[in-house]
Structures are given as structure tokens and as C-alpha cells.
Amino acid sequence: MAEPTNSRRARRRELRRIRSRRHNPDGTMTLIQHVYEFRRRLSYALLAIVAGGIIGFIWFEQAIGPIPSLGEMIRGPYCALPDSMLADFNGDGECRLLQTKPFEVFMIRLKVGIAAGAVLMAPVWLYQFWAFVAPGLYEKERKYGKIFVSIATVLFAIGAALAYLLVPVALRMLVGFGGDNFTTALTGDDYISFIITLLVIFGVSFEVPLLIIMLNRAGVLTYEQLSKWRRGIIMLLFVFAAIVTPADPFSMLALALALTLLFEGAIQVARLHDRKKAKQRKELGWDNLSDDEAAPFEYTPSSADGEDVT
């Protein structure tokens, strides 16, 4: 028993040494070391989500200071419907969702708690993902990666917040199609699934302009191409919004217009980036080179410490 234990301890020490920039500046690892590192980072990320899920599970019923409970916030759009649309089975005027299955409320609390926990602990599990990927990137790539991850988080939050603001209007339009012939009594599972799906759809959709900027930075898309395809892409954005949103025109138009504005902003960022690159190429004289002329790069090899090799 002592030998395997010592072997595991030695392996952990070796992994810590490899992860240390002081002992391993370039972050090189073998395949098995990459597997161990991935398992470690994934374990930390899952532990963070589980911890956040426990907090979210408790927060579902308990308000945190001035912050209302999760259950109250999620139930808010449903309870904002006119009283004439809501069914009042108890006759007390209280707004409640229906539970039609045993343990349905428990599963709803668990689902909402995990979703809220993943959002609350996003900096932790995103850091674990970043810590696994970053050693294989150059310094400039790490800088851009941090910027893009930060912007992606903000865009997702803005998209989810916009969806939450639109839910009452969308819900009123969807349940109001039947007029006075129907009364609304939504089950908890269906309603929560509707809310979470809409939040995720809006949040993920807001990442599209950032993807366009990343492709432009990588040289895959240019401003000239984006400008030429502008009308077609905007039409695709409207089609995309019509497919992923519920069957109400208000949510579709809101998502499509928001994506159109973000897409236009991404085009302008691409325009500035391409203009800067064109200016640099002109200053370096690259555009004046003939096809059979060598590029003006420095071809002198250097050693690892930066000294020229003669």
C-alpha cells in the first residue's frame, strides 16, 4: 500500500512542478500529464457548480437581504399577467404555479438552483477552463483570450437580462390568443423550462457579433466581405430569431433588432481593424512587393536565449 501512495504523491508533486512557471516557463506537458491536468481542472469546475447549485437551491426560497428569492423573481413575469387571465384555484388571490407530479417542485428547485449556481460561479469554472488552455497560448493570444472571455460574459448577461425584461410581454401575447375562452394555469415545470430556455437563447445569441469579430481578427472574414454580405446576414438573423424564439412576434423582433445592432457594431469594429492592418502593410511596403520577391522578414535564426546563431 505504501508504494502506490508514494507514487501518487510523487505524481502530484511532479504535476505541481510542471504547472509552475518558475520550473516550466513554456508550460510543456506529456499527453498523460495533460489528461491529469484536464481531470483536475474539470473536477474544480464541477465542484464550483455544485457549490453554486447548493446556494441557488437555498436562494430559491430565501431572500438575500434586499435581493428577492429566485422563486419570486422567476414567478414575477407569470404573476404580472392580468388577474382576468390567471386561474385562482384557492380563491385567495395569490399567484401560484401548478405542481402536477410528485417531487416536481424539488426538481424545479434543483434545476433553477444549478442554473443560478452556474451563473454565480461562472468566474470560477471559466478560470479553470482558462487555466487549462492558457499554457498553450502565446502572450498575445492570452491577452486577447482574456478580453474575449470578459466580453462574452458581459454579452451573455445583457442578452439574458433583455430576455427577462421581454418575458412578461411575450407571455401576455402567448396566453392571450384564446381571449376569454381560456384561463391560464401554467405548470411549474413547463413555465420554468420556458423561462430558462428563453434566457439561454438570448444569452447565446448575443455571442454571435463577438464570433464575427474573432473571425475578423483571425483573418477569416474581412470588412469588405461583411459589408458585401450585410443584407443577407441581417435576413438570416431575422430567420434565426423567428426559429429560436417563442411564437410571439414581439420576442422575435426584439432579438432580431438587437442582433442586427450588435452585428452592425461588429462590422464597424472589423472596418477599424482592417483599416489599421492596411495602414501597417502600406508603411512596411508589403503591398508593393512583386510575386517573385521575398517578404522583408528577418530570417536569421536565434537560439532559445535570443542570441543570433551564426
Q: Which residue has the higher pLDDT, 20 or 227?
A: 227
- In tens, the pLDDT along 126-143 reads 788 877 777 776 777 677
pLDDT given at position 236: 92
CA separation for the pair 186, 99 (Å, rounded):
9
- Owner of C-alpha cell 455571442: 207
CA separation for the pair 301, 310 (Å, rounded):
8
Give the bridge partners for 86, in sequence order: 184
Contacts of 267 (CB under 8 A, 6+ apart): 212, 223, 226, 227, 230
Check pLDDT > 50 for residue 1.
no
- Mean pLDDT (the chain) is 78
- In tens, the pLDDT along 176-215 reads 776 666 666 777 788 888 888 888 888 888 988 888 988 8
Place 235 in a pLDDT band, splitting at 50, 70 and 90.
very high
CA separation for the pair 230, 236 (Å, rounded):
10
- In tens, the pLDDT along 16-66 reads 655 555 555 555 667 787 788 888 889 998 999 899 899 988 988 888 888
| Contact between residue 192 and residue 74 where contact means Cβ atoms under 8 Å apart | yes
CA separation for the pair 229, 86 (Å, rounded):
46
| Contact between residue 60 and residue 113 where contact means Cβ atoms under 8 Å apart | yes
pLDDT given at position 260: 92
CA separation for the pair 231, 14 (Å, rounded):
56
Which of 159, 59, 62, 171 shows the shortest CA–CA distance to 115? 59
DSSP string, 212-247: HHHHHHTTSS-HHHHHHTHHHHHHHHHHHHHHHS-S
Q: Which residue has the higher pLDDT, 33 or 288?
A: 33
Radius of gyration, CA atoms only, the chain? 27
- In tens, the pLDDT along 151-175 reads 888 888 898 888 888 888 878 777 7
DSSP string, 95-121: ---B--STTHHHHHHHHHHHHHHHHHT
